[in-house]
Amino acid sequence: MVDQTDSAPQIRDAVDWHTGIALRFDEGYTKSAAFMERLVVWRELIGRYARPGPRALDAGCGSGVLSFVAAQHMRSVLAFDASPEMIRIAREKQARSGGIENVSFREMRMENLQALESESFSLVMSSSVLEYLDDFWGAIDALSSLMAPDGALIFSVPNVQSLYRRLERMIFDMTGRPRYLAFVKFCFSHTEIAEGLKARGLTPVDVRYYAAAPLLSRPARAVGRAEYADNLIAYVCRKS
């Protein structure tokens, strides 16, 4: 008798995890309030800081939702992700679009960014990716090295000051749920990120708290304290 557990897919890392939820992840942008808020925030940031004409890089593009947003503002977009299923979905959506031809999707890991070292991008972006990597600041260094001199880097990080996120971590420590937290390696405060960026010659020009926490974010935002409730922080940086 064959042991069925031997043939079950093994979730080794964040790439495997996101490959397994790729379709639900993509559908989240039309069904999940949290994902729809993410899209609103990132669409506004991309629209504000993308310079019409040059190239953009979407590092860890997932199913390509934000890549297509960038394509509305840029001459071309190079988008990559380590999950083959995410790239398959992105290419399928592109084929169905009938008109989005200025996005090129590539299966590639963040650890292989050196393959792009001879290239330059006026917009570099990475949404909800860097916290899963072994070397967060190494990835920031690599991404910023690909920025054009007058370019912008947009990225997000989990907000360690969020009371909801702290509760979520406590529940995970006791129950192993939500499962995605098994793969999250970094969580930061604004102060930690600001200091790390300064040390690398990067200046934040825009900071946004988002990803509302149930029950907490509305009152926290009302009194100007979103940092204690919202689950994510987005940064827009330029070279100092």
Residue 129 lies in a domain: yes
Residue 148 lies in a domain: yes
Closest CA to 59 of 22, 113, 134, 103: 113
Residue 177 lies in a domain: yes
Instruction: pLDDT band for 9, please (50, 70, 90 cuts).
Output: low
More confident residue, 222 or 98: 222
- Mean pLDDT for 156-160 is 98
- Mean pLDDT for 181-208 is 97
Closest CA to 69 of 50, 96, 86: 50
Q: What is the pLDDT of residues 50-64, one digit of tens each?
A: 987 799 999 999 999
pLDDT on residue 10: 78
Residue 203 clears pLDDT 90, i.e. is over it: yes
Three-state SS for 36?
A: helix
Q: What is the pLDDT of residues 21-33, one digit of tens each?
A: 999 999 999 999 9
Strand runs (DSSP E) across 137-197, as ranges? Answer: 147-158
Residue 76 clears pLDDT 70, i.e. is over it: yes
CATH classification of the domain holding 17: 3.40.50.150
- Pairing label, strands 232-239, 147-158: antiparallel
The residue type at 35: F
pLDDT on residue 3: 37
Residue 213 lies in a domain: yes
Closest CA to 106 of 115, 98, 119: 115
Residue 1 lies in a domain: no
Q: What is the pLDDT of residues 108-142, one digit of tens each?
A: 999 999 999 999 999 999 999 999 999 999 999 99
Residue 162 lies in a domain: yes
Block residue for tokens 């991404």: 143
- Mean pLDDT for 67-80 is 97
Mean pLDDT of all residues belonging to the chain: 94
What is the model's pTM?
A: 0.94
**% of the chain surpassing 90 pLDDT:** 92
**Segments forming the whole domain that contains residue 140:** 11-239
**% of the chain surpassing 70 pLDDT:** 96
Q: What is the pLDDT of residues 89-109, one digit of tens each?
A: 999 999 998 889 999 999 999
pLDDT on residue 51: 84
Tally the domains of the chain: 1
Residue 97 lies in a domain: yes
Residue 6 lies in a domain: no
pLDDT on residue 1: 32
Phi/psi at 231 (nearest 5 deg)?
Answer: -90, -15
Pull the structure tokens for residue 20. 């397994």
